[in-house]
């Protein structure tokens, strides 16, 4: 029995060595997504350059095996600078210098944090998550740090604001616009303007944000309820046109779907 056990252990050792030799860390298979907690020093070995070492990177403390993307992340690849480290900040700033390839996300705006979150979603979808790296975002036992919890709270608020902005765009899609030296500026509405596909065209109006003197051109639905609202009575059909934050363009017909803007 002991001899069989020794042979089994030896076979497992050979199998592990074979896997390491092909850039696969057996811990990813044995422990799964949440099992392994790496130190920064351990992670730094996995750049695809050392014999037997895998090819890993981390985003917001989560470690991914990116061996399948070796042509991008391996030695000589366009994104090889991401390998073996958590360079979360660079995913938002685009600073790929040593000073920018760090996990410090302090001072980033909510939209920049959302950009990092989008990259995290990308790696989660396309690569194998194999654990976490202890440090800024996770403790040694794999639990999130206060830094990560605060960042997640900001990202959640950013997602809500983003969703509200998308709803606002559905109600008031941006206009198409063009400028020429001969004809000046022109704005117009279509069923695709602002990148918002819909079954109505609308008319151009200036939309002012409350408390601001600046405006931008939006398309306003002429008849019927606002997008996403229940059917309206005839009294409500001008609800959007009568919005106090909207203003007609001077010199343009109020129901025309285009307008030559006076600069």
228 pLDDT higher than 90: no
Residue 9 within a domain = no
258 pLDDT higher than 50: yes
Residue 150 shares a structural domain with residue 198? no
| Pairwise pLDDT comparison (27 vs 198), residue with the higher score | 198
Judge contact between 131 and 37, C-beta under 8 A: yes
The model's confidence at residue 230, banded by pLDDT at 50, 70 and 90, is low
Residue 153 shares a structural domain with residue 183? no
| Pairwise pLDDT comparison (245 vs 5), residue with the higher score | 245
Residue 161 has a CB neighbour count (10 Å cut-off) of 13
pTM tops 0.75, yes or no: no
Residue 53 shares a structural domain with residue 180? no
Q: Look at residues 130, 164, 198 and tell me which one is the last residue of a structural domain.
A: 164
Residue 38 within a domain = yes
Predicted local distance difference test score (pLDDT) of residue 224: 66
121 pLDDT higher than 70: yes
Q: Give the mean model confidence (pLDDT) for residues 55-72.
A: 97
Residue 256 within a domain = yes
226 pLDDT higher than 60: no
Which H, E and C letters describe the chain, residue by residue? CHHHHHHHHHHHHHHHHHHHHCCCCHHHHHHHHHHEEECHHHHHCCECCCCCCCEEEEECCEEEECHHHHHHHCCCCCCHHHCCCECHHHHHHCCCCCCCCCCCCCCCCHHHHHHHHHHHHHHHHHCEEEEEEECCCECCCCCECHHHHHHHHHHHHHHHHHHHHHHHHHHCCECEEEEECCCEEEEECCCCHHHCCCCCCCEEEEEECCCCCCEEEEEECCCCCCCCCCCCCHHHCCCCCCCCCEECCCCCCCCCCEEEECC
Residue 192 shares a structural domain with residue 252? yes
217 pLDDT higher than 90: yes
Q: Look at residues 128, 146, 164 and tell me which one is the last residue of a structural domain.
A: 164
Residue 150 shares a structural domain with residue 232? no
225 pLDDT higher than 80: no
Residue 120 shares a structural domain with residue 176? no
Residue 146 shares a structural domain with residue 41? yes
Domains in the chain, number: 2
Residue 187 within a domain = yes
189 pLDDT higher than 90: yes
Q: Look at residues 131, 164, 197 and tell me which one is the last residue of a structural domain.
A: 164
The model's confidence at residue 211, banded by pLDDT at 50, 70 and 90, is confident
Residue 31 shares a structural domain with residue 160? yes
pLDDT digits (tens, 9 = 90+) for 123-139: 999 999 999 999 999 99
The model's confidence at residue 232, banded by pLDDT at 50, 70 and 90, is low
Predicted local distance difference test score (pLDDT) of residue 241: 87
The model's confidence at residue 239, banded by pLDDT at 50, 70 and 90, is low
Containing domain of residue 102, as a range?
22-164
Q: Give the mean model confidence (pLDDT) for residues 219-227.
A: 76
Q: Give the mean model confidence (pLDDT) for residues 165-194.
A: 92
Residue 68 shares a structural domain with residue 126? yes
Residue 2 within a domain = no
Residue 112 shares a structural domain with residue 133? yes
Q: What rounded mean pLDDT belongs to the chain?
A: 85
Residue 13 within a domain = no
The torsion angles phi and psi of 208, rounded to 5 degrees, stand at -105, 135
81 pLDDT higher than 80: yes
Residue 123 shares a structural domain with residue 144? yes
């Amino acid at each position: 029995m002991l001899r069989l056990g020794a042979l089994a252990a030896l076979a497992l050792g050979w199998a592990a060595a074979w896997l390491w030799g092909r850039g696969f860390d057996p811990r990813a298979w044995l422990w799964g997504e949440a099992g392994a907690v790496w130190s920064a020093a351990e992670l730094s070995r996995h750049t695809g350059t050392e014999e037997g070492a895998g090819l890993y990177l981390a985003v917001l403390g989560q470690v991914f095996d990116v061996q399948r993307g070796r042509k991008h992340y391996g030695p000589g690849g366009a994104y090889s600078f991401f390998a073996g480290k958590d360079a979360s900040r660079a995913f938002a700033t685009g600073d790929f210098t040593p000073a920018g390839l760090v996990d410090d996300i302090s001072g980033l705006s909510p939209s920049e944090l959302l950009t990092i979150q989008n990259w995290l979603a990308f790696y989660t979808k396309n690569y194998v998550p194999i654990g976490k790296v202890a440090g800024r975002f996770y403790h040694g036992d794999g639990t999130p740090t206060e830094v990560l919890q605060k960042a997640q709270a900001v990202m959640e608020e950013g997602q809500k604001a983003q969703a509200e902005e998308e709803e606002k765009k559905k109600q008031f899609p941006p206009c198409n616009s063009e400028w020429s030296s001969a004809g000046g500026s022109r704005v117009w509405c279509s069923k695709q303007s602002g990148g918002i596909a819909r079954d109505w065209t609308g008319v151009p109006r200036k939309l002012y944000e409350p408390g601001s003197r600046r405006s931008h051109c939006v398309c306003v639905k002429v008849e019927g309820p606002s997008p996403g609202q229940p059917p309206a009575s005839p009294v409500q059909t001008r609800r959007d046109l009568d919005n106090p934050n909207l203003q007609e363009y001077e010199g343009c017909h109020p129901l025309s779907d285009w307008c030559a803007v006076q600069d």
